[in-house]
Amino acid sequence: MDFRADTILSYGGKNVIPLPNLARELKRRIRNRSAKAGVMGLGYVGLPLALEMAKEGFQVTGIDLSKEKVDSINRGISYIPDVPSEAVSAFVSSDKLRATQSLGAVGDLDTINICVPTPLRKDKDPELSYVVAAIEVIRNHIRPGQLIILESTTYPGTTRELVMPILEESGLHAGTDFFLAYSPERVDPGNSTYQTRNIPRVVGGVTPRCAEMAASFYRQFIDKVIPVSSTDCAELVKLLENTFRSVNIALANELALACPSFGVNVWEVIDAANTKPFGFMPFYPGPGLGGHCIPVDPYYLTWKTRLNGCESRLIELASHINDQMPAYVIRAIGDALNKKRKCLNGAKILALGVAYKRNTNDIRESPALNILSGLHDKGAAIFFSDPYVPSIQIQEKTISSIDLTPALLQSMDLVSILTDHSSFDYSMIAKHSPLIFDTRNALQNFATTDLMLL
> What are the DSSP calls for 188-206, one per residue?
-TT-SSS-TTTS-EEEEES
What are the tens digits of pLDDT across the range 12-62? Answer: 444 455 556 889 999 999 999 999 999 999 999 999 999 999 999 999 999
| The pLDDT of residue 20 | 66
268-453 matches 5-229 in CATH topology? yes
| The pLDDT of residue 189 | 84
Cα 130 to the center of its chain, rounded Å? 15
| The pLDDT of residue 447 | 76
pTM of this prediction?
0.90
Strand positions, DSSP E, 193-338: 201-205, 225-227
- Based on the number of CB atoms within 10 Å of its own CB, is 373 exposed (0-12), middle (13-18) or buried (19 or more)? middle
- Type of residue numbered 265: N
Judge contact between 190 and 357, C-beta under 8 A.
yes
Judge contact between 159 and 132, C-beta under 8 A.
no
What are the tens digits of pLDDT across the range 208-225? Answer: 999 999 999 999 999 999
The three-state secondary structure class of 83 is coil
| The pLDDT of residue 22 | 86
The helix (run of H) or strand (run of E) holding residue 453 is strand 451-453
Mean pLDDT across the chain: 93
* Cα–Cα distance for residue pair 159/424, rounded to 1 Å: 43
Q: Would you tell me how many other CB atoms lie within 10 Å of the CB of residue 98?
A: 17
Residue 141 has pLDDT above 90, yes or no: yes
Task: Please name the residues in contact with 133: beta carbons below 8 A apart, sequence gap of 6 or more.
Answer: 116
* Cα–Cα distance for residue pair 300/156, rounded to 1 Å: 9
| The pLDDT of residue 449 | 66
Task: Please name the residues in contact with 424: beta carbons below 8 A apart, sequence gap of 6 or more.
Answer: 352, 353, 387, 404, 417, 442
* Cα–Cα distance for residue pair 184/38, rounded to 1 Å: 17
Mean of pLDDT values over 372-381: 97
Residue 7 binned pLDDT confidence (cut-offs 50, 70, 90): very low
Residue 115 binned pLDDT confidence (cut-offs 50, 70, 90): very high
Please state, in angstroms and as integers, the Cα–Cα distance from residue 277 to each residue in 245, 265, 269, 280, 281, following that order.
20, 22, 15, 7, 9
Q: What residues are annotated to the active site?
A: 293
User: What's the CATH code, domain 268-453?
Assistant: 3.40.50.720
- Looking at the structure, give the CATH architecture of the domain made up of residues 5-229: 3-Layer(aba) Sandwich (3.40)
DSSP secondary structure of 352-420:
E--SSSTT----TT-HHHHHHHHHHHTT-EEEEE-TT--EEEETTEEEE-----HHHHHT-SEEEE-S-
How does 159-174 read in b/e, with b if 16+ C-beta sit within 10 Å? Answer: bbebbbeebbebebeb
- The DSSP call for residue 110 is S
What residue ranges do the domains of the chain occupy?
Answer: 5-229, 268-453
The three-state secondary structure class of 1 is coil
Judge contact between 359 and 422, C-beta under 8 A.
yes
- The DSSP call for residue 163 is I
Residue 94 has pLDDT above 70, yes or no: yes
* Cα–Cα distance for residue pair 209/220, rounded to 1 Å: 17
